[in-house]
Structure 1
Amino acid sequence: MCVLGLVALWYLAAQAGAAFFIGVSPAAQAWAQDLGAHLLVGGLLFAMARSLKRFALAMMVLFSAFTVSNAIKLAVLGGPVMPDDFIAAKNLFLLLEGWQLWGSAAMLALPLAALLWMFAWRQPRAWLALAGVVLAVMAVAKHPVPVVGWMDARFGDWVWNQRGNYEMRGLPIHLVQETARNLSRRTPPPQMDEVDQAMRLLGAKAPSGFFKAAQRRSDGTGRNVHMIVLESFWDPLPLKAAGLSSDPLDPEFRRLWRAGGGASALSPVFGGYTANAEFEALCGFPVHTDGVFFEGRLRRDVPCLPRHLGEAGYRSIASHPNAAPFWNRVNAYRRVGFDQYWSDRDFALDDMNGEFLSDASLYRQVLERIGPDLDGGPPLFNYVLTYFGHLDYPLNEARPDIIDAKADNVLVRAYANTVHYKSRELMAFLRELRQRDPDAIIVLFGDHLPSLGWNYGGYAESGLLAADRSEFDDAMFKTLVATPLVVINGRRGPVRTGDLPIYALPALILDLLGDERESMLRFAAHADDAVRVRPLPGVRFSLEGKALTVCRDGEVQLGCEASRAWIEAVSLLKRDLFNGEQHALKAPERLRRLQTVELEIEDIGGGDVSEPIGDDTDNDV
């Protein structure tokens, strides 16, 4: 009873503290089952423990680490800890420094050390308890589907609202349930007939086989392409409750943005996980899961935009002044076809805002390096991912605060001043780049919205977002992911693209280049030019003109069947291309034969002969 009492006392104190200081806790109706799950884990730990004292300390360290990590992620990013977060955790050590780095290291090291210190190495009961845990884990791993079915029926599954899942389950149950769900999704790579069916549904032709096409080089002429991905770049002016003293955006940028119709890039993420926005911008496929696609899901060499342009003689360079292996970029950039990757080791870290290199320095150094390519030589795909703009938006002494805010939100004020400098440094770069490379195609967009405080902080204060995802109205789902988008078509100036999901940008670039080669980069973007689908974890919305249709997974809604089928087809092709057998790249002739057979069957049956699949693939910008 003493053991159960200790766990219960810790639980009550921890949940009260998280609710008071961070605004995060399970729902009242879930407290009993959540406490029961903690008691079960506590009982297993005690069976392995050398003494009550050691158990009490190890239990508090382990439970507190999970509870605090989950609460912080919920408050900052709007979702609870998920299984994929454990794979991505190592990236924290490449991003953080100072007390944040030491704190994160302690969150991982202390629980492990406490468990080792607690374990009764010479007691058979400890090894029996550990064996029971291992067998339970193996059973879940071997039979995840029935486990998921039972847990969904017992504890529920709010497909589009993971915060809601945590609140109605509690953390231990949530982690077990979502881990089993992840395991249940591990299916064999798609087969050839499945890939054919998905491609027919999308109306796409198979591209020429990459491995053969890579051997064919063009004469190396073409317009340069510059893609600038701006860290946490967003327009803070809609934060009416903040009372900003002036417009943070450079007036010149606002005019440029307005000339392109004030378009938005629709990102797959909020507040972090930049690599998913990168994957979409480079490879033309949407991400709609909570994990980072670069981490473990990109396992094949693929003809993404850098490699596709490389086949036409382009030289492709990626620049990002962060630690090279962050989000597995070394391997990911190589697989998508970059010729060169310049990371923090390749830049002079001479103008730092906290630990982040300023955009002004990054742009200057990139221009110095690519200068010879702008003055002659092979065409260039210049990909720049900025670093300045990360939470908590530090500025150095050379960048004093210019903008004040009436609201008592330190992050909103800091972010407004960050955007003030970020937008001006961007425009200075664009002026020089357009002067030196007037015919280039330039694409720039924000990777995701900034985090402005716990539980959507500054957004909730101004009514742009609700504090809880379960309370989002339809418009809020678009607001959650919409960042500024500007596309410049050389001397013709800004292009009126309309709002575009980031995965549609590679196809747009090919259209502006007049590149009519068959490509996987058009599979998702040209499925239906009139309708744009933005998939997100558990939810998706479609844009048709100004009409917005939001579809929440797990709910029956009119007008959602077409987008559901589209996502299933795109997801299957994505599995085939990026970690499967790449049937979609190898068999263009097979699809043409299938189309011919289908047309012949229609002729015999007297039906109307349809247009061959994939003939209408031009994007009318």
Structure 2
Amino acid sequence: MRPTESKQRKKAGPALTRLWTYMIILIACAVIPLALVFGVEFIQRGNMNEAWMWLSSNPKLFVMNALLDFFVFLVIYALVGRLLPTIALSVLLLSVMSFISFFKLKLIGEPFFPWDIFLNKESMNIAPLVTTKSAMLRIGTMLGVVVALLVSSFWLPRLRLGWKTRIVVGLAAVFALYSFGVNAPWASRVMYQMGASEIVWNQSENYGNNGMALAFTMNVKNAIVPKPEGYDEPSMANLAQSLKTQAGVQTASAKANPFSGQQPNVIFIMNEAFWDPTLLPNVTFSEDPAPTVHRLQKESTSGYLLSPQFGGGTSNVEYEVLTGQSMSFLPAGSVPYQQYISKPVPSLAGYFEEQGYKSMAIHSYEGWFWNRENVYREMGFESFMSKDQFNNPQYKGDFISDDEVTNHIIQQVDSTDKPMFIYTVTMQNHGPYDDNRYGGSEVQVEGDLTPEAKNTLETYTQGVKDADASLQKLIDHFTETGEPTVIVFYGDHLPMLGYDFDVYAQTGFISTPKSEKWSLDELRRMRSVPFVTWSNIDLPKEEVPVLSNSFLGAYMLDHMGMQLPETLAYNRELSRKMPGLLRNLVVDANMQMYSDVPEALADDVSNYRQLQYDTLFGKQYLAKYIDSPYLQQTAMPNYNQEFVEKPADSEDDLDGTLNASEKGSP
């Protein structure tokens, strides 16, 4: 062989190697995203057949999802620079997102949203729910694949990209993902041509139709709440004038105060997952698990609240009740406590403080959960008693008992000279309910249920029985002392009774476990939570068939003959025209149901949306034109001072107060 031929072969060797390297990389870039999409959809949908049916029925959407996964793959490749670790990290990232979406859909009917990324400690709350054998097997398989790829990368060719190529590829991929996320015009055209159709009002259907990667990306833009059409200072000035006129009319025709000039304690108790299990058809109970609630439904004002949540998201219900604002105007799956409330906002707490009350929040769980310890300050609460302020409390199951919470409500009222507004959130009956936490139930359930479903329902029902008893204990105390008091008792949402709404489906409460296929009547049933009231001063008895949580505060102030600030007066008037408002369910005054706001109510709802936007995101024009302490609330300067100085009530103090109340002491 001549020297020149040898040199040519030596030069051709590296060139051929580079060619094969680039060919393998190109093949991987084409195949891996397709495999990732199928794997993600298999995990999210729960079985191979549904994933294949979606793929074969929606080839364009499949390609669109693969394109988005391709850009994610490129971003990781640009950062890592080696092919096999990039594949491993891509599998890990997208699989984890898909597992989260799968479990969220199973548990509460909602998929994984972009803003869920910011739920750090809160996300651990569902950890016990995903440790079943089948779940651990799936997760273990995914982790096994990731580990195998990472180990293989030490022996197989590294297939690197040069740093210049990595910079160009990475920046191009980030730009593409950003464009799709913010719905840039060119990206919007691509998604439209590929058959994307965003279903904002039903996110489980949105993810099911479009695929997880595409639906997740389309939701990115929803993290920013857009300004409502027509929102500006002149329009808010006109609305302010209308509100002042309307509030004046309501004041002139207001109900007489039934408390003869006294200020009653006002106690809201939002009992965790409280619902009436006797509403389930085709099952019977060995005894009435909620005799107090059922009696109050006959004797006092009561009805059903339309909750924006199912199975979780307690803080969103608090948000609606305390502020009078609606989750319907915020992105699906968002959490205002985490995302939006970082400055003072008008709330019932601030309203009662202006009336001379002491406002206190009580929650028998961690104060940091859902950012409550900060949010309650911005809402104008004077104090927040969290789990840390419960000294040596009684537990039932994994959580502080409802009875213990009742004891602390009594102790706080009896030890405070001022009338009190207390907003209480309990924890005892938090799911899941397949843990046999009580070692057996006092209430036995009979019906055509699987053993697992029967055990779940009996465990939940025992929690209902305890909650009902704690309410009766509170009523007994104020009946005995005679101190003017109003109690409002309700649940935040229906309980999650097994995966795929298992107990509800087995009993026939719903026709299908597929929430996107529910009728409007089924949707209403799955969001309707009973509420009851009690007072030791006669109040009018009213039956309320449906009322959104966002209207509850205004309704109760009006019911008690208290003067409503302008925005809550608007809520009260709107609730008479449209008592029910959810993202995908509207109920009008004639109890007609709609999946969207009917034309006759569009202007009223538009005003409601503008009032909320002005308060939460806008320039607070309304406060400029309405001189109202309610609209100009500030955080209490002494917020939680009593618990900073005195971290927890002593057991002696609590026992002494309860003993005094038992003797009839005020």
Measured against the shorter chain, the TM-score band is 0.7 to 0.9
Contact 2:82 2:161 in 1 (8 A): no
* Deviation larger for 122-131 or 16-25: 16-25
SS at structure 1 position matched to 2:338: coil
Report the Cα offset of residue 232 of structure 1.
0.6
How far, CA to CA, are the matches of 2:274 and 2:38 in structure 1? Answer: 40
Report the Cα offset of residue 188 of structure 1.
11
Can you list the C-alpha shifts for 1:236-278, whole angstroms capped at 9, x where unaligned?
112224x344355222321112323651111122211111211
How far, CA to CA, are the matches of 1:296 and 1:278 in structure 2? Answer: 15
Q: From 66, 69, 74, give the equivalent of 1:38.
A: 66
Report the Cα offset of residue 315 of structure 1.
0.5
How far, CA to CA, are the matches of 1:128 and 1:335 in structure 2? Answer: 45
* Deviation larger for 67-76 or 452-461: 452-461
Pairing 1:9-20 to 2, within 5 Å after superposition:
9=35, 11-12=37-38, 15-16=41-42, 18-20=44-46
Structure 2 stretches lacking a partner, 5+ long: 1-26, 249-260, 629-666
Q: From 191, 201, 205, give the equivalent of 1:160.
A: 201
Quick check: 1:423 aligned with 2:468? yes
> Which amino acid letter does the alignment assign opposite residue 302 of structure 1?
V
| Residue of structure 2 in register with 1:565 after alignment | 603
| Residue of structure 2 in register with 1:126 after alignment | 166
Contact 2:357 2:421 in 1 (8 A): yes
Q: From 237, 240, 243, give the equivalent of 1:196.
A: 237
Q: From 355, 380, 387, give the equivalent of 1:344.
A: 387
| Residue of structure 2 in register with 1:501 after alignment | 548
| Residue of structure 1 in register with 2:398 after alignment | 355
| Residue of structure 2 in register with 1:583 after alignment | 621
Bigger Rg over Cα? 2
**Same amino acid, percent of matched pairs:** 21
Quick check: 1:461 aligned with 2:482? no
| Residue of structure 1 in register with 2:532 after alignment | 486
Report the Cα offset of residue 577 of structure 1.
1.4
Q: From 69, 83, 86, give the equivalent of 1:55.
A: 86
How far, CA to CA, are the matches of 1:172 and 1:237 in structure 2? Answer: 41
Contact 1:266 1:501 in 2 (8 A): yes
Can you list the C-alpha shifts for 1:133-185, whole angstroms capped at 9, x where unaligned?
32234445666577557635731123432222112210111111121344472
Can you list the C-alpha shifts for 1:316-335, whole angstroms capped at 9, x where unaligned?
01000221122221222111
| Residue of structure 1 in register with 2:369 after alignment | 326
Report the Cα offset of residue 36 of structure 1.
5.2
Alignment coverage as a number of residue pairs: 560
Report the Cα offset of residue 69 of structure 1.
0.8
Report the Cα offset of residue 484 of structure 1.
0.9
* Deviation larger for 83-92 or 275-284: 83-92
Contact 1:389 1:418 in 2 (8 A): yes
* Deviation larger for 90-99 or 171-180: 90-99
How far, CA to CA, are the matches of 2:362 and 2:50 in structure 1? Answer: 38
Report the Cα offset of residue 573 of structure 1.
0.7
Pairing 1:337-416 to 2, within 5 Å after superposition:
337-348=380-391, 350-373=393-416, 377-393=417-433, 396-397=437-438, 400=441, 402-406=443-447, 407-408=449-450, 409=453, 410-416=455-461
Contact 1:18 1:68 in 2 (8 A): yes
RMSD over aligned CA atoms reads 3.8
How far, CA to CA, are the matches of 1:22 and 1:366 in structure 2? Answer: 52
| Residue of structure 2 in register with 1:27 after alignment | 54
| Residue of structure 2 in register with 1:178 after alignment | 219
> Which amino acid letter does the alignment assign opposite residue 293 of structure 2?
F
Q: From 572, 585, 594, give the equivalent of 1:525.
A: 572
Q: From 312, 322, 345, give the equivalent of 1:282.
A: 322
How far, CA to CA, are the matches of 1:347 and 1:577 in structure 2? Answer: 34
> Which amino acid letter does the alignment assign opposite residue 286 of structure 2?
S
| Residue of structure 2 in register with 1:226 after alignment | 267
Contact 1:245 1:403 in 2 (8 A): yes
| Residue of structure 2 in register with 1:270 after alignment | 310
TM-score (norm 1): 0.79
| Residue of structure 1 in register with 2:293 after alignment | 253
Q: From 534, 537, 546, give the equivalent of 2:580.
A: 534
Quick check: 1:297 aligned with 2:340? yes
Contact 1:316 1:340 in 2 (8 A): yes
How far, CA to CA, are the matches of 1:344 and 1:148 in structure 2? Answer: 48
| Residue of structure 2 in register with 1:87 after alignment | 118
* Deviation larger for 51-60 or 136-145: 136-145
Contact 1:318 1:338 in 2 (8 A): yes
How far, CA to CA, are the matches of 2:344 and 2:247 in structure 1? Answer: 17
Report the Cα offset of residue 19 of structure 1.
4.1
* Deviation larger for 256-265 or 288-297: 256-265
Can you list the C-alpha shifts for 1:463-504, whole angstroms capped at 9, x where unaligned?
333322332222122112111111224332673241322222
Distance 1:40 1:229, change over 3 A: closer
> Which amino acid letter does the alignment assign opposite residue 527 of structure 1?
L
The structure with higher relative contact order (CA 8 Å, sep 6+) is 1
Contact 2:484 2:536 in 1 (8 A): yes
Distance 1:40 1:441, change over 3 A: closer
